[in-house]
Every structure is written in C-alpha cells, then in structure tokens.
Amino acid sequence: MKKNILKTAALCCIISLSACSDKKDYSVTMPDGTLDKCSLRFSWWGGDDRHEATLKAIDLWNQKNPDITIIPEYGGWDGWAEKMNSQVSSGTEPDIMQINYDWLISMSPDGDGFYDLDKLSSQIDLSQFDNEVLSFGRVGEKLNAVAVSVSGRSLFYNSEVFSRMGADYPETWSDLIALGNKFGESGLYPLDLDIQSGGTAWYLAVVYIQQQTGRQFITPNGELGFTVEDIKAALSFYKKLEDSHVIRTVRTRTDEDGNAALYQSSEFIGGRVAGVLEWGSAVGKYESVLPDGILEAGPLLTDEKGCSDGWMIKPSLLYAVSKRTKHPDEAAAFINFMLNDEKCADILGTTRGIPASRSAESALEKSGSLKGLAKECNDILERSETVTISPYMELSRMKEFYNTAIESVSYGTADVDSAAKQMFSSVNNYLEKIRK
Amino acid sequence: MRSRFYRNPVGVSKFTGLILILPFIIGAVLFIIYPFIYSFIVGLKDTNGGLSLDNYRNILTDSSSRRTLFVTLKYTAVLVPLKLIVSLLAALLLNCELKGIGIFRTAFYIPSILGSNIAVIIMWQYLFTSDGLVNQLLKAVGISPVGWYGDPNYALFIIVLLRLWEFGSTMVIFLAGLRNIPKELYDAAKVDGCGRIRAFFSITLPQLKNIIFINLILQTIAAMQEFNAPYLITGGGPLGSTRTVGMHIYDEMFRFGDEGTANAISWLLFAVIGIIIILLYRFTEKLRRD
C-alpha cells in the first residue's frame, strides 16, 4: 500500500515537472491547404469604435465558419506593445496579431519572428494589394505581415470652438503660431501635443524640420538623417509652440490631465484644448467623445510658399500570424476575411483607416461608407508629397530619447543646445547598436 | 511491547512528510529557485550572446539608472517611517474595546485590499489634478493650489500618499502585537501613577519592538520594489521624478526588450535591498535585544 502511494506520488511529480519543462518546440507547422476545426486567438488594440466593429466582424466570421472559432483579445494602446512583447518573447502570443510597424524590427529583425505569409498565399488574396503596400510587411525576403491601411498623422480640430473664436483652421506654421496668441487670450489652446505613448510633440517638430530641410529624420535603413542643428531647430520650434500658447506646456498638461490620454481628458472633451494631431486610422476615439460632426480635419501645415512636404505616412496597422501557430491555413483564411471580405469591410468601415485592400475599399465605396475623418485625412495626405516614416523612428527606446529632450526643454532643466546634443548622441548610438 | 503509532489512510513512513510538502517544493523549485538562477544567467548575457559583466557595468555608469535608484531610496525613506507611525497610531486607536470596533477595523483595512487598481488611480486623478478635490480644498482655505502631477517636487508625494492610505496590513500586524501585550503591565503602571503617554513609551513601544522591526523590514522591501503606483498614476514623470527601479526594470524588459539589462538591474536591486536589510538588522540589534 505504502509503496503504491509512493509510486503514485513520484509519478505525479514527474508528470507535473514534465508539463512545465521547456520543450522549445519552434518547428513551424506547414500549411496543408485545408481548413480544419480549431480555435484561434486574435489580438488587436484600439478605441471602442474599433473594438465594437471587430467583434461584429468576428460574429460574421463565426456564422460563416462555425468550425473555426475566433477568440478575441483586445485593449487600448497604452501598455499593449509591452504586453505583446512579453507574449512573443515567452511564446504565448495569439495566432493572429494586429501589429505596429516598428514591431517588425523589434520582434522579427531577421524575418523569422512571424510566419512567412508568402507560404499561405493560397489562403490570402495578396493580389488585392499594391506591391508597395506589401513591401511594408516584408523583412528581407519574407512577408511577415500585411498592411491593413496606410495612414498618416493629420490635424483635427473642434469646429465648435473654432467657430466660437471666429478662427479659421491654420494653413501655415505662422498661422498656427498666430492662432496660439489669439486662443491664449481666452485661455484656450488650438492644439495639443503629448510626450506619452503617442509622442506627437516630437513628431510635429520633425515634420516642420523635414519640410524646411528636405532631410528625413531617420532613413528607412535606420541612419540618422538630422544634424545636431536640425534637432536643435526642432526643439526650438517645439518651445516656440509652448511659448505662443499653441499647446500646453508639459507641466500644465501633466497637472491638468495626470497620466490620462488626451481623449479621456476633460480639457479636450470640454473644448479648452481644441485640436489634436492623430493618425487617420485612430482618430475615431477622439471623434466619439465629442458630439457628432464636431471634430473636423484641417489642412496639413505648410511653409509660406505652400510647400506641404515633410508630412509622414506609414502602414498604420498590419496583420501577422504567429510563427508558432498550429493552424496557419485557418489563421491566413481569417486574415483574408478581415482584409478582403466585402461584408466584413462594411462592418469594419474605417475603424482601421482606409483599407489598403482594393476589394475592401471598393466595398466601402459601393456602400457609401468611404467617408468620415479617416477618409478626409487620407485625401489630405494624398494631395501632399509625403514621406514614408522609418520603422526605426517609432521604436520605444527612440521615443524615450525624444520625450526626454522635449521634457527637459519644456521644464527648462536643459537648454535647447545641450538637449539637442544629448539626443543626437543617444539616437545615433542606439541606431548603430541595433543596425549591427 | 508493541510500539504505538498513529494509523491514517496514507500510512506513516520516513517519506510521508516529504511527500506532503512535495507540492510546495516543486512549486518553489519551478517558480522561485529556477527563475532566480535563470535570471542571473540572463543578466550576464551581453548583446553578442556571450557571458560578461557588461550589463552591470552599463547600469552602474548610466545616469538614468542611478537616478531611479535615488528616487526609490528617497521614496522608501519618506514612506516607510510615515507608514509605520500612521499604522501604529491607527492600531492604537482600534485597540480600544468599543462596541462595533470590528466595523472600524474592517473599514481601515479596505484600502489595502483595493491596492493600486484602475478605480483607485482614477480616484487619485480626481483628487490631485489641477482642479481636483485637494486643490479645491486648498483654495477654500486660502492656500494657493499645488501642481501635484506636474511639479517634480510633489509628484512623488502623490505615490507616497496612496501607499500611506493603504496602511491596513501594517496596522493589522501592530494590532496583533498590541493585543498580545499583557494587560497587567498597564494595570501595574496605572497603580504606580503612570500616565498614558509614559505607558506608551515605557510599555507599548518596548513590547512592540520586534513587531516594529518586522513591519520595518516588510515595508522597506515593498517600497524598494514599488512599481504599480508610479506606473499607473504618473507613468514615472515628470522628469523621471517618480521613476522607481521597478519601473526601470519593466521598461527595459517589456518596452525596450532588453532582458539582459532588466535582469541585471533586478539582481542589483536584490543586492541593494539585501544590504539595507543587513544594515537595519545591525543598527537595531541592540535596541531589539535590550
């Protein structure tokens, strides 16, 4: 009896230990071209508008494909990249992921971080995409992801506040500065820039310098294109925006909003802050907290000669498949549904920007859904000579360098000169390190 | 004569004890000892995949790492004494025999259960933003409002206040200690004409010295590992004035994906906490023995 109990206990120990052992099975399941019964995890970030539309799209998928169940995992942007980073590094990531452009560099520097979607082309209709769009998701020879939409940051304003102030949307940088002085008299701000996860403060300063110099801040292959003087000019420009009451200082913003995002802040909802710089694909969360039709897209700011160069675009979101998925065909079929299915496109609308897929775009056009701020933003960007943002620019460590410089200039703990030199050397050293 | 032993369905052998604690041993090996050793090895890995002390060298020469350590030490030095005093006072208050005192004890413990979750964070934002309740109260009594979130000198204070508000667990330990002090000591002191304040310093504090030490150690360790509150309330800002070592580890690991540095910082934090505990132990040794 005792021996049996001991044996059972020993067996239990072995089973529990073996269950926790690190098998490190990185073998990639090859596609077999058939769709089998399975469950797939699908993760994305976004605002409520995107969540609601995506859940409806998943319902439609489940009706059409009752054998393949999609398990949704979603949340806001803040902290999402960190969550995905830990899931990918521990091998527990979902089968299908909405990924950000810079994740291709951080999670798949050699192209082996995600499933090669070229191998799944029998399930995904890649012919719906331009080669340039597909190239965004390529790392080396491997197609790691497919871009959902191509988008850029544009300016959006609270039309009610502007009409109350009797002000037009600014067209040039000097209009914006003048507007700051005008709004300042009533204690209002025409725009808001942040140094949180969005990092719009540095972004706008980069656009201004790119427009003036024609140099790209960071080149597509990860070289720093700006000189110390350029960075100094960008930081000075940012300081000028604060001094002219165009935007709140970092201190005022932090005091008023704490750690909350702008679209959750009473200053934005109440109209004291009347403008925002946001991706066309993500502006829905700002639109939804204001009454219908209040938020409007404004023109891209130009120099006095009307040159609007320097504004940037990028694949706003991409879909990727985990390299560890046991169901690559099914995952690819779901991505195809999300990207190309006409009914699904109708449900999703422009919650992820204007679709890059031709079939989805024409479906939206047919149903008259190709409208709203995302569409206006797209049209505005299309009329300009935009540059494609380097994925290196959006890396978290890089954002930390920008935000440190902006914060120190705003608080006055460093002069523009030393902040620019510090940022130049930090960015340069880091880029050199990761390019190796 | 037959030897006596207790029969039970399992039977008793020299391995019975071992079997009974086996689940704990397995858990400890898998979830404590293995990660502990693995983390040390990862902390030694450099960018080329080799083993070296590069990560440790980089951390020690990096000014932002030193700053996070300074912030953490400052936070610990401010919070721990305050928390011990507040929780001891609350425990003294709740030690009296009143009708319905259990309700008060529960009420004082509730903030500790809440922790720093999202609801608490939102409440804190309503309290401390520029037009929050605290500033409105200050204005009402004629004091100029304070930029709690935006001023690097005050931001850490918001985190300290949150943790101070959550004094329940420290208080419960004090309360248990207070209830173990023999009542006769107070009766004898009263007969000798000893007042309440004198009784507190001559009876209560000496009787509680070991409890105070335990709370001191536990709270110091918790404060040195602080992460949740600054991460959720201030995000480490402004100007890194609330960025603790815990946040630094998180950023390196999950935001920047540098697991070597993150694990090396964890080990350095472990060493710093170890040194502080040894120093506290040494400095209070005589006090605790007397």
Take residue A214 and report the two structure tokens written for it: 């024609």
- Across the interface, of A5, A13, A257, the residue whose CB is closest to B10 is A5
Report if residue B216 sits inside a domain: yes
Whole-number Å distance between alpha carbons of A257 and A207: 26
User: From first to last of its 290 residues, what are the pLDDT tens digits of chain B?
Assistant: 555 655 666 566 778 888 889 999 999 999 999 999 999 999 998 877 788 888 999 999 988 899 999 999 999 999 999 999 999 999 998 888 778 888 888 888 887 777 667 788 788 878 898 888 999 999 999 998 888 899 999 999 999 998 998 888 899 999 999 989 999 999 999 898 888 889 999 899 999 999 999 999 999 999 999 998 899 888 898 999 999 999 999 999 988 888 899 999 999 999 999 999 999 999 988 887 76
- Provide the mean pLDDT of chain A: 88
Are B25 and B147 contained in the same domain? Answer: no
Are B87 and B33 contained in the same domain? Answer: no
**Region A205-209 average pLDDT:** 95
A9 CB within 8 Å of a chain B CB:
yes
Report if residue B221 sits inside a domain: yes
DSSP A126: G
Angle at A243 between CA A241 and CA B145, to 5 degrees: 120
Helix and strand counts by DSSP (H, E) for chain B? 15, 0
| Helix, strand, coil percentages in chain A from 3-state DSSP, rounded to 5 | 50, 15, 35
With 0-12 / 13-18 / 19 or more C-beta atoms within 10 angstroms meaning exposed / middle / buried, residue A103 is buried
pLDDT surpassing 60 at residue A49? yes
Whole-number Å distance between alpha carbons of B71 and B237: 11
**Cis ω on the peptide bond leading into residue A328 (within 30° of 0)?**
no
Check if the beta carbon of residue B44 is closer than 8 Å to that of residue B55: yes
Looking at residue B8, its pLDDT comes to: 61
CATH code where residue B261 lies: 1.10.3720.10
Looking at residue A24, its pLDDT comes to: 44
Contacts with B254 from chain A: Cβ below 8 Å? 82-83, 85-86
Q: Give the residue, A370 or B208, on which the prediction is more confident.
A: B208
Are B8 and B133 contained in the same domain? Answer: no
Are B273 and B223 contained in the same domain? Answer: yes
Q: What percent of chain A has pLDDT over 90?
A: 62
Contacts with A400 from chain B: Cβ below 8 Å? 251, 255-256
Contacts with B123 from chain A: Cβ below 8 Å? none
Contacts with A256 from chain B: Cβ below 8 Å? 129-131
Contact across the interface for B19 and A9, Cβ inside 8 Å = yes
Q: Which of A106, A428, A156 is nearest to A286 (CA)?
A: A156
Give the minimum alpha-carbon distance from B234 to chain A in angstroms, rounded to a whole number.
5
Sign (positive/negative) of CA torsion B47, B53, B59, B61? negative
Structural domain for B31, as ranges: 1-44
pLDDT, tens digit, for every residue of A160-176? 999 999 999 999 999 99
Whole-number Å distance between alpha carbons of B132 and B263: 39
Best residue in A106, A255, A429 for a mutation probing chain B (most B CBs within 10 Å): A255
Sign (positive/negative) of CA torsion B48, B49, B50, B51? positive
Looking at residue A425, its pLDDT comes to: 95
Looking at residue B156, its pLDDT comes to: 93
Residue keyed to tokens 């706003």? A316
**Region A237-265 average pLDDT:** 91
- Across the interface, of B150, B253, B259, the residue whose CB is closest to A254 is B150
DSSP A311: -
Contact across the interface for A82 and B254, Cβ inside 8 Å = yes
Which band of pLDDT confidence, cut at 50, 70 and 90, is reported for residue A56? very high
Report if residue B206 sits inside a domain: yes
Check if the beta carbon of residue A270 is closer than 8 Å to that of residue A158: no
Whole-number Å distance between alpha carbons of A290 and A269: 6
Whole-number Å distance between alpha carbons of A403 and B171: 41
Q: Which of B226, B239, B212, B204 is nearest to B273 (CA)?
A: B226
pTM above 0.95, yes or no: no
Are B120 and B235 contained in the same domain? Answer: yes
Report if residue B49 sits inside a domain: no
Check if the beta carbon of residue B254 is closer than 8 Å to that of residue A86: yes
Are B4 and B122 contained in the same domain? Answer: no
Best residue in A20, A259, A397 for a mutation probing chain B (most B CBs within 10 Å): A259
Are B150 and B186 contained in the same domain? Answer: yes
Check if the beta carbon of residue A156 is closer than 8 Å to that of residue A385: no
Are B142 and B178 contained in the same domain? Answer: yes
Interface A:B, Cβ pairs < 8 A:
90
Are B196 and B222 contained in the same domain? Answer: yes
Are B158 and B196 contained in the same domain? Answer: yes
Contact across the interface for B129 and A255, Cβ inside 8 Å = yes
DSSP A175: H
Looking at residue B5, its pLDDT comes to: 58
Per the structure, the count of domains in chain B is: 2
Give the minimum alpha-carbon distance from B107 to chain A in angstroms, rounded to a whole number.
28
Question: CATH number of the domain at A153-313+385-435, please?
Answer: 3.40.190.10
pLDDT surpassing 80 at residue A245? yes
Q: Find the residue in B nearest to A82 (Cα).
A: B254
Are B122 and B12 contained in the same domain? Answer: no
pLDDT surpassing 80 at residue A354? yes
pLDDT surpassing 70 at residue A3? no
When the candidates are 3.30.465.10, 3.40.190.10, 3.30.70.980, 3.90.226.10, the CATH number that belongs to A35-151+314-376 is 3.40.190.10
Residue limits of CATH 3.40.190.10 in chain A: 35-151+314-376, 153-313+385-435
Contacts with A251 from chain B: Cβ below 8 Å? 147, 150-151, 238
Are B39 and B168 contained in the same domain? Answer: no
Check if the beta carbon of residue A330 is closer than 8 Å to that of residue A35: yes
